[in-house]
Amino acid sequence: MNVLKWIRAAAFVSIVLGAGLVVAEDYPPAYPRTGVTQVLENSRVFVWEVHWLNGIKQPIHRHRYDMAGVYLRYGPIVVTTPDGRARPSEPFDVPRPYYQPRDITHKEEGSGGPNDPERLAIMVDLREPNPTGAVSSSKMEPAFPREGAKDVIDNERVREWDYTWIPSTDPTKPAQMRVYTRDSVQIFFSGGTIRYRTADGKETTKAVAMKDAFFIPQDTVRSEEAISGEPRAITIELK
């Protein structure tokens, strides 16, 4: 009889736990949601422009991917876990590079008043890691590290660099050719104009602005120099 009771109890616990797993899996993904716009998508990443809108209710969600990104503007938010625990945010300086592992479950809601800023970020959901784990075999100087670049995050999924392009004081000296050794996402915090030259001599100029985000494939070879302003970006190298 005791054995039978034990079996029934074990079966009940299994059913309860199984139901709990089903409920957990029913949480929607973090993105898209109100205030979020998709910027780009490919086989490596989803890139999102995220606004935490004050006074807008949000659902509990689950981050299904490891996530990297950069906060571009601070605004107060409250983060609430499924058990109801709420944690107000603390102010921080921007740009703020960011990384978060997958399976975080919570809701995030803007908590400012009518005259308070709303938080803004570009967030990057990371699909599976580089299937080969390979980096570029080029002998050329890598895009990063480079002089003036700050290594701000380095872990098993990403390496993030904070870099500002400063106009050259010697316009006769060409910018150095460099190779992006990994697939990368480049997110701009401040704008300007950058001149790019490729190895075959092709030249283009691009005006960039805050929150612009671009995917740069591995083995991209080019030189880069600011010709107006001092563009600043966080570049996320994907591992």
Location of each CATH 2.60.120.10 domain in the chain: 36-126, 150-238
Distance from the first to the final alpha carbon of the chain: 56
User: What share of the chain has pLDDT > 70, as a percent?
Assistant: 90
Query: Collapsing DSSP states into helix, strand and coil, what is residue 208?
Result: strand
- Within 13 Å of residue 226, how many CA atoms lie on the same side as its CB? 18
- Within 13 Å of residue 164, how many CA atoms lie on the same side as its CB? 9
- The whole-number average pLDDT for the span 68-84 is 98
pLDDT digits (tens, 9 = 90+) for 167-222: 988 877 889 999 999 999 999 999 999 999 999 999 999 999 999 999 999 999 99
Classified by CATH at the fold level, domain 36-126 comes out as Jelly Rolls (2.60.120)
The DSSP code for 168 is -
Classified by CATH at the fold level, domain 150-238 comes out as Jelly Rolls (2.60.120)
pLDDT digits (tens, 9 = 90+) for 133-152: 888 888 899 999 999 999 99
